[in-house]
Amino acid sequence: MSKKILVVDDEEDIRKSVQKILEINGYDVLTANDGDECLKKAEEFKPDLILLDIMMPGISIDEVVKQLKNIKIAFMSVVRISDARKRGLCSQDNIMDFFQKPFNVNDLIDRVELILNEYQT
Amino acid sequence: MNKDKINFKNLILSKINRKLTLLFIIVGFVAPALAIYYFYTISIESFAVDITNDQTNLLRTIAAGILILIAIDAGFIGFLISKTISKPIKELCDATHKVDKGNYSIRLETKSCDEIGELANAFNKTTANLAKIREERQEIDRAKTEFLSITSHELRSPMTPMKAQLQMLIQEYFGKLSKDQKKSLEIIMRNADRLDNIISDFLEISRIEAARLKFNFQETDIAQIVEETIDFMKAFAKEKNIKLTTQIETLPIIEVDSGRLSQVLRNLVNNAIKFSERNSKIEISTKLDKDCILFSVRDYGCGLTYENQIRIFEPFYQVESAARRKHGGTGLGLAICRGIVESQNGNIWVESKPSKGSKFSFTIPLEPVRDIKPIKVLFSNKNTIERKIKEEFKTVLGPLGQYEFDELKNKNAIDKNELEGYINFLIEKFIISNKCGEDFKSRINKIFGNEKDIINNNYDSYSEYNKGELSI
């Protein structure tokens, strides 16, 4: 069975783009447009990986991350990883990677594959 | 003798209260003298003839005594009165000096309601206005940096889906493409990349300007960083069959941000590759130079004219628009390098000759600078100052001045201390006279002084002003 990935971003175009990229590469993709929806869908569908935008309206990202301790997370953001680190976002064990927007499609696929394979072993 | 006289004159006339006291003594002497003189002559006449010599003498002594007493009295009163006038003036004068040094929080007490009180009020109002203007300017400056940062982020967001969709198209996610379609998409992609590079460079500049540039200092073997960076760049040099050689002296292990160092080096080597002919070479050297480490990147490419050497570190300045199209790049690379190097109190400069090649050098101090200061990269006022200094050079040294100025500018030696050293050198070598040199110095100082307020228009001097506020 193919792996499930939840893509969370408040921008529809980004959601759709990432969804398409991942689907073509054989993943099952769900999307959510904010933190609340993300938590709800994570609970419901138990995805293998969540691609999570750092800056979204609504519930704070720290809160979202705190409640998702058992699912692998990779951040996507226009800010740099150093800024995210400064906010203390990267301290949890289940945070696997950081995709700097705009990302390279091949790079995204390679790294997602790596994360999911690591998870298996 | 003559000198003593002038000094005596200065001694009395340089202070208002001394002047006024002298005036009161004179008035206090002359007015009663006249009164007593008339009183004396009238009383002598009215005493008829039988007045004795003794009585006359007594009268005279009394008259003289009264005169002296009145004069001393008048002088004393004059001193007190003048003190009340000169004291607030002195305070005003001290306060003005403080304002000149940038302390706008100073206020005068207005006890009296006369002209001096009015003057003090006017002074307070003007200073308050100046403080407001400075605050507004700092606000504008912050707003500029903030604006740059926000817009860059906002511009970056739409780049994400754009680039993602483009890459999917090019990689034929949605079906086969014809040759022409592919070519067209590649052009779009290349320019999207370029736009993205400009945006990230803008973000970098906004960080430098707001002193938000992060340095991650770690004890590092500089030689290793240089070797690694050069190895990385070799892949790019290979395309033009350019040989990269390194010459690294034994260096002490120092604390440095290896990422930033590598960023600056990569940028310089990348430029060197861009402007080198095929099959040429680039030499990279690193050595200890007093209390800093000196890096240089030497190429044998097309070199730079004087005009270009001077402007090469300005944002968006590229040597030729044709070269720009050929080489790509954002035109911000060297400006960013300057920002990074200068925020570590280092220096960056270029030496070059057209068609002979260029040598870019920069220094980093052995001690890392942890307290990062904002550096103006965009719209810096450096240009105005430099233009004024150049004018001075031309006035003092004639046509040679232009050449000398350019030379100094290439060494990035246009700061107050360096220029003072340079003028001292001119005096020592009898190129200009002592007096001429001193005048030159004071005019240069004035240029920096005039612009001081603008240069200091950053947050660290802001805290200094705040300190001043507390002490008053």
Q: How confident is the model at residue B467 (pLDDT cuts 50, 70, 90)?
A: very low
Percent of chain B with pLDDT over 90: 15
A vs B: CB pairs below 8 A: 51
Could you tell me if B84 and B172 lie in one domain?
Answer: no
Domain boundary among B192, B210, B228: B210
This model of the complex carries an ipTM of: 0.86
Residue B28 has pLDDT above 80, yes or no: no
Which residues on chain B are in Cβ contact (under 8 Å) with A14? 160-161, 164
Is B144 found in the same domain as B81?
A: no
CATH for A4-120 (3.40.640.10, 3.40.50.2300, 3.40.50.720, 3.30.70.150):
3.40.50.2300
Please determine, for residue B465, whether its predicted confidence score (pLDDT) is greater than 60.
no
Burial class (CB within 10 angstroms; exposed 0-12, middle 13-18, buried 19+) of B179: exposed
Which range (B319-328, B339-348, B395-404) has the least confidence?
B319-328
* pLDDT-wise least confident of B20-24, B218-222, B225-229, B359-363: B20-24
Cα B297 to Cα B284: distance, rounded to the nearest angstrom: 5
Average of pLDDT values for B165-175?
91
Q: Do A103 and B165 touch (CB under 8 A)?
A: no
DSSP A2: P
Residue B167: per-residue pLDDT: 92
DSSP B102: T
Run of H or E residues at B341: helix B333-343
B388 and B411 inside one domain: yes
Q: Are B346 and B393 found together in one domain?
A: no
Rounded to 10°, the helix B416-428/B434-455 angle is 180
Judge whether residue B464 has pLDDT over 70. Answer: no
Instruction: Determine the pLDDT at residue B323.
Output: 55
* CATH number of the domain encompassing residue B189: 1.10.287.130
Considering the domain boundaries, does residue B376 fall inside one?
no
Q: Does the distance separating the beta carbons of A20 and B173 come in below 8 Å? A: yes
Q: What is the pLDDT of residue B6?
A: 60
> What range does the domain containing B54 cover?
2-100
Chain A residues lying within 8 Å of B157, measured CB to CB: 11, 78, 101
Of A18, A20, A101, the CB nearest to B156: A101
H or E segment to which residue B98 belongs? helix B53-100
B22: its two tokens = 């002298």
**pLDDT at res. B461:** 34
Question: B171 pLDDT exceeds 70?
Answer: yes
Q: Supply the pLDDT for residue B429.
A: 79
Whether B69 contacts chain A with CB within 8 A = no
Same domain, B91 and B151: no
B112 interface with A at CB cutoff 8 Å:
no
Residues B253 and B227 placed together within one structural domain of the fold: yes
> Does B12 contact chain A (CB < 8 Å)?
no
Which of B210, B245, B262 represents a domain boundary (last residue)?
B210
Summarize the confidence of residues B207-235 as an average pLDDT: 87
- Which of the listed residues B177, B210, B243 is the one where a domain comes to its end? B210
Domain count, chain B: 4
Give domain status of residue B105, yes or no.
Answer: no
Cβ–Cβ < 8 Å for A105, A97: no
Q: Do B171 and A106 touch (CB under 8 A)?
A: yes
Q: What are the chain A neighbours of B165 within 8 Å (beta carbons)?
A: 17
pLDDT, position B86: 80
Percentage of chain B with pLDDT > 70? 87
B159 to A103: CB separation less than 8 angstroms, yes or no = no
Give the mean pLDDT of B465-469. Answer: 33
To the nearest whole angstrom, how far is the Cα of A95 from the nearest Cα of chain B? 22
Which residue in the block uniquely carries the two structure tokens 């006890």?
A: B111
Computed on alpha carbons and rounded to an integer, the radius of gyration of chain A in Å comes to 13
B101/chain A closest Cα distance in angstroms: 38
Q: Is residue B322 part of a domain?
A: yes
| pLDDT over threshold 60, residue B470 | no
Q: Is residue B456 part of a domain?
A: yes
Per DSSP, the three-state class of B412 is coil
CB B295 within 8 A of CB B366: no
Mark yes or no for CB contact A24/B196 under 8 Å: no
Q: Do B357 and B391 belong to one domain?
A: no
Do the bridges between strand B281-289 and strand B292-299 make them parallel or antiparallel, or are there none, so unpaired?
antiparallel
pLDDT digits (tens, 9 = 90+) for B408-454: 877 777 777 778 888 888 888 777 888 888 888 877 777 665 433 33
**What pTM was estimated for this model as a whole?**
0.64
For residues B361 and B230, membership in a common domain is answered with yes
Please give, rounded to a whole number of angstroms, the shortest distance from the CA of A103 to a CA of chain B. 7
A105, B168: Cβ pair inside 8 Å? yes
CATH code, domain with B275: 3.30.565.10
pLDDT digits (tens, 9 = 90+) for B74-119: 888 888 888 877 887 888 888 888 888 878 888 888 777 778 888 8
What's chain B's average pLDDT? 80
Touching check for B165 and chain A: CB below 8 Å?
yes
C-beta separation of B294 from B286 below 8 A: yes
The verdict on A93 touching B (C-beta cutoff 8 Å) is no
Lowest mean per-residue pLDDT among A20-24, B214-218, B222-226: B214-218
Tens of pLDDT, residues A40-83: 999 999 999 999 998 888 888 888 888 888 889 999 988 878 77
| CA-based nearest residue to B308, from B356, B362, B353, B346 | B353
Does the pLDDT at position B8 exceed 70? no
Are residues B162 and B24 part of one domain?
no
Residues of chain B numbered 179-198 and touching chain A (CB < 8 Å)? 196
